[in-house]
Structure 1
Amino acid sequence: MTRMTAWSLPEVRAAIGAIGFFALGGAAQLSDGPSWLYWALYLVCYLVGGWIPGREGLAALRNGALDVDLLMVAAAIGAASIGQIFDGALLIVIFAGSGALEALATMRTENSVRALLDLAPPTATRLARGQEERVATAELGAGDVLLIRPGERIGGDGVVIDGVSTVDQSSITGESVPVDKCPGDEVFAGALNGSGSLTVRVDRPAADSVIARIAALVAEASASKANLQLFVEKVERRYSVGMVAATLALFAIPLMFGADLQSALLRAMTFMIVASPCALVLSTMPPMLAVIANAGRRGVLIKSAVVLERLAEVDRVAFDKTGTLTAGEPVLVSVCGLSGMTDDQLLGLAAAAERGSEHPLAAAIVSTARMRGLVDVNPAVGQFLSTPGRGVAVRVGAERVSVGSTALLGPDDVVAADLAVELERAGQTVVVVLVDGVAVGVLGLADRPRAEAAAVIAELETLTGASPVLLTGDNHSAATRLASDVGISSVSAALLPEQKLAEVRRMQDDGDRVLLVGDGVNDAPAMAAAHVGVAMGRRGSDLALETADVILVRDDLAALPGVVELARRARRVVIANLAIAATFIVVLVAWDLFGHLPLPLGVAGHEGSTILVGLNGLRLLRASGRGRAVGPR
Structure 2
Amino acid sequence: MMTMSSHNEQQTYRVEGLSCANCAKTFENNVKNLDGVKDADVNFAASKINIAGNTTIEAIEKAGSFENIKVVTNDTANEKKEPFWIRNDKLILATLFILLGFGATYTFGNGHYLSTLLFALAILTGGLSLFKTGLINLVHLQFDMKTLMTIAVLGAAIIGEWREAAVVVILFAISEALESYSMDKARASIRSLMNLSPKSATIRRDGIEQTIDVRDIVIGDTMLIKPGERIAMDGHVVSGVSTIDESPITGESIPVEKEINAPIFAGTINQDGYLEVEVTKKADDTSLAKIIHLVEEAQAERAPSQAFVDRFAAYYTPIIIVIALLVAIIPPLFGAAWSTWIYQGLAVLVVGCPCALVISTPVAIVTAIGRAARNGVLIKGGIHLEQIGFIQSIAFDKTGTLTKGKPEVTDVKVYTDKPEQAFQYLKALESKSQHPLAKAITNYINEQQIDASSVHVDQFLTVQGKGIQGDIDGQRVYVGSPSLFNTISTSIEKQLNAYYAQGKTVMLCGTDKEIYLLVALRDEPKTESKSVLTQLHELGIKHSVMLTGDHPQTANTLGSEMGVSDVHAKLLPEQKLQLIKEYQQKHETIAMVGDGINDTPALAASNVGIAMGTAGTDSALETADIALMGDDLQKLPFTVKLSRKALAIIKQNITFAIGIKVLALLLVIPGWLTLWIAIFADMGATLLVTLNALRLVKVK
TM-score, normalization by structure 1: 0.56
User: Distance between the aligned counterparts of 1:391 and 1:415, measured in 2?
Assistant: 24
Q: CA deviation at 1:499?
A: 1.5
Aligned residues: 470
Unaligned runs of 5+ in 1: 62-68, 102-224, 396-401, 625-633
Contact in 1 for aligned 2:178/2:687 (Cα 8 Å): no
Deviations 1:380-434 (A, max 9, x none): 6542423414568999xxxxxx994589999999866875686579662514389
1:90-239 → structure 2 map (5 Å cutoff): 235-236=312-313, 238-239=315-316
Contact in 2 for aligned 1:243/1:275 (Cα 8 Å): yes
* 1:273 is aligned to 2:350: yes
1:298 to 365, 368, 375: 375
Aligned residue for 1:315? 392
* 1:561 is aligned to 2:592: no
Q: Describe the SS at the equivalent of 1:496.
A: helix
- What is the identity, as a one-letter code, of the residue corresponding to 2:374? R
1:317-466 → structure 2 map (5 Å cutoff): 317-328=394-405, 330-337=407-414, 357=432, 359-360=434-435, 361-368=437-444, 374=447, 377-378=449-450, 382-387=453-458, 388-389=460-461, 404-405=479-480, 419=495, 428-432=505-509, 441-445=517-521, 447-464=523-540, 466=542
User: Distance between the aligned counterparts of 2:134 and 2:179, measured in 1?
Assistant: 6
Contact in 2 for aligned 1:537/1:545 (Cα 8 Å): no
Are residues 2 and 302 of structure 1, via their aligned partners in 2, closer, same or farther at CA, if it must alter by over 3 Å?
farther
Are residues 535 and 236 of structure 1, via their aligned partners in 2, closer, same or farther at CA, if it must alter by over 3 Å?
farther
Aligned residue for 2:109? none
Aligned residue for 1:608? 684
Aligned residue for 1:12? 43
Q: Describe the SS at the equivalent of 2:564.
A: coil
Q: Describe the SS at the equivalent of 1:491.
A: strand
* 1:247 is aligned to 2:308: no
1:531-570 → structure 2 map (5 Å cutoff): 532-536=608-612, 538=614, 548-570=624-646
Deviations 1:196-224 (A, max 9, x none): xxxxxxxxxxxxxxxxxxxxxxxxxxxxx
Contact in 2 for aligned 1:291/1:570 (Cα 8 Å): yes
- What is the identity, as a one-letter code, of the residue corresponding to 1:290? T
* 1:506 is aligned to 2:537: no
Q: CA deviation at 1:595?
A: 2.8
Contact in 2 for aligned 1:323/1:539 (Cα 8 Å): no
- What is the identity, as a one-letter code, of the residue corresponding to 2:173? F
Contact in 2 for aligned 1:545/1:551 (Cα 8 Å): yes
Aligned residue for 1:134? none
User: Distance between the aligned counterparts of 2:132 and 2:411, measured in 1?
Assistant: 69
User: Distance between the aligned counterparts of 1:614 and 1:536, measured in 2?
Assistant: 32
Are residues 530 and 269 of structure 1, via their aligned partners in 2, closer, same or farther at CA, if it must alter by over 3 Å?
farther
- What is the identity, as a one-letter code, of the residue corresponding to 1:74? T
- What is the identity, as a one-letter code, of the residue corresponding to 2:584? R
Are residues 419 and 461 of structure 1, via their aligned partners in 2, closer, same or farther at CA, if it must alter by over 3 Å?
same
- What is the identity, as a one-letter code, of the residue corresponding to 1:589? L
Q: Describe the SS at the equivalent of 1:502.
A: helix
Contact in 2 for aligned 1:335/1:443 (Cα 8 Å): yes
Of stretches 18-27 and 382-391 in structure 1, the one that deviates more from structure 2 is 18-27
- What is the identity, as a one-letter code, of the residue corresponding to 1:508? H
User: Distance between the aligned counterparts of 2:652 and 2:328, measured in 1?
Assistant: 33
User: Distance between the aligned counterparts of 2:305 and 2:539, measured in 1?
Assistant: 25
Contact in 2 for aligned 1:385/1:392 (Cα 8 Å): no
Contact in 1 for aligned 2:130/2:150 (Cα 8 Å): no
Contact in 2 for aligned 1:326/1:449 (Cα 8 Å): yes
Q: Describe the SS at the equivalent of 1:595.
A: coil
1:86 to 163, 167, 173: 173
Contact in 2 for aligned 1:409/1:417 (Cα 8 Å): no
User: Distance between the aligned counterparts of 1:528 and 1:578, measured in 2?
Assistant: 32
Aligned residue for 2:562? 486
Aligned residue for 2:191? none
Deviations 1:471-493 (A, max 9, x none): 45666456445423422242344
User: Distance between the aligned counterparts of 1:457 and 1:295, measured in 2?
Assistant: 20
- The alignment's C-alpha RMSD in Å is 5.9
- What is the identity, as a one-letter code, of the residue corresponding to 1:335? V
User: Distance between the aligned counterparts of 2:575 and 2:134, measured in 1?
Assistant: 47
Q: CA deviation at 1:262?
A: 8.3
Contact in 2 for aligned 1:356/1:384 (Cα 8 Å): no
Contact in 2 for aligned 1:91/1:278 (Cα 8 Å): no
User: Distance between the aligned counterparts of 2:485 and 2:618, measured in 1?
Assistant: 41
Are residues 393 and 471 of structure 1, via their aligned partners in 2, closer, same or farther at CA, if it must alter by over 3 Å?
closer
Contact in 1 for aligned 2:423/2:445 (Cα 8 Å): yes
Aligned residue for 2:147? 74
Aligned residue for 1:160? none
Q: CA deviation at 1:530?
A: 5.1
- What is the identity, as a one-letter code, of the residue corresponding to 2:356? A
Q: CA deviation at 1:460?
A: 1.7
Q: CA deviation at 1:621?
A: 0.8
Q: Describe the SS at the equivalent of 2:456.
A: strand
User: Distance between the aligned counterparts of 1:432 and 1:47, measured in 2?
Assistant: 82
Q: CA deviation at 1:590?
A: 3.2
Q: CA deviation at 1:12?
A: 1.0
Deviations 1:138-178 (A, max 9, x none): xxxxxxxxxxxxxxxxxxxxxxxxxxxxxxxxxxxxxxxxx
User: Distance between the aligned counterparts of 1:30 and 1:354, measured in 2?
Assistant: 74
Are residues 487 and 2 of structure 1, via their aligned partners in 2, closer, same or farther at CA, if it must alter by over 3 Å?
farther
Are residues 536 and 9 of structure 1, via their aligned partners in 2, closer, same or farther at CA, if it must alter by over 3 Å?
farther
TM-score, normalization by structure 2: 0.51
User: Distance between the aligned counterparts of 1:49 and 1:329, measured in 2?
Assistant: 64
- What is the identity, as a one-letter code, of the residue corresponding to 1:11? V
Are residues 316 and 47 of structure 1, via their aligned partners in 2, closer, same or farther at CA, if it must alter by over 3 Å?
farther
User: Distance between the aligned counterparts of 2:68 and 2:495, measured in 1?
Assistant: 69
Unaligned runs of 5+ in 2: 1-19, 29-38, 49-63, 71-80, 95-122, 155-164, 189-301, 462-467
Which one scores higher on RCO, CA 8 angstroms, separation ≥ 6?
1
Are residues 610 and 235 of structure 1, via their aligned partners in 2, closer, same or farther at CA, if it must alter by over 3 Å?
closer
Aligned residue for 1:468? 544
Aligned residue for 1:104? none
Are residues 530 and 45 of structure 1, via their aligned partners in 2, closer, same or farther at CA, if it must alter by over 3 Å?
farther
User: Distance between the aligned counterparts of 2:439 and 2:653, measured in 1?
Assistant: 56
Q: Describe the SS at the equivalent of 1:336.
A: strand
Contact in 1 for aligned 2:393/2:544 (Cα 8 Å): yes
User: Distance between the aligned counterparts of 2:380 and 2:399, measured in 1?
Assistant: 24
Q: CA deviation at 1:468?
A: 1.9
